[in-house]
Copies of this chain bind each other. A is one copy, B any other.
Amino acid sequence: MASERYEKGMDVLKEFNLVDQHHPEGHMDIGAGFKDLAPDLEDFVVEFAFGDIYGREGIDPKQKVLVTMASLVAQGIPQIEMHVKTGIKVGLTPEEIVGAIIHILPYAGFPKVLNGLKAVQKVFNEQGITVKTK
């Protein structure tokens, strides 16, 4: 039986419209993908990352995704496809997603930003999303 905290995390996943992105039971693929190594990892993702942190008040879902993408790109972790998709689901415009990544330029330099934009470009191409440019 799922714990209360797990349920709370699942509620957040539903609020972020993320359950269908994962498997029917709502497990994060990312967590479920390591069931052989550490079955509790999925709980940490659902309970801590989603229940505690994404479920926290203070900033709204769009801001949460912007902060997430910025944190990763600035660290040189370009694997933000999942977060770009989440951003679209919670209502970020393509211009906001691109604008946030480019805003990192003075703070972390071109190479990390360009690597981040490649991930954005991949998702936008897959989903047929276009950016309004002047």
Contacts and interface: CB of A to CB of B under 8 A. Distances in A.
Interface of A: 5, 30, 34, 36-41, 43-45, 47-49, 52-54, 56-59, 63-64, 66-68, 70-77, 79, 95-96, 98-100, 102-112, 114-115, 117, 120-121, 124, 130-131, 133-134
Copies of this chain present: 6
Contacts of A41: 102, 117
B53 A105 contact: yes
Contacts of A43: 52
A59 B57 CA distance: 21
A37 B117 contact: yes
18 contacts: A36-B121, A37-B121, A38-B117, A47-B52, A48-B48, A54-B103, A56-B103, A57-B95, A58-B98, A58-B100, A63-B103, A66-B67, A68-B107, A70-B70, A71-B103, A76-B76, A76-B77, A107-B111
A111 B133 CA distance: 29
Given A66-B63, A70-B67, A111-B72, A106 B38 contact: no
Given A79-B111, A108-B109, A103 B34 contact: no
Contact of A99 (B56, B99, B107, B134): B56
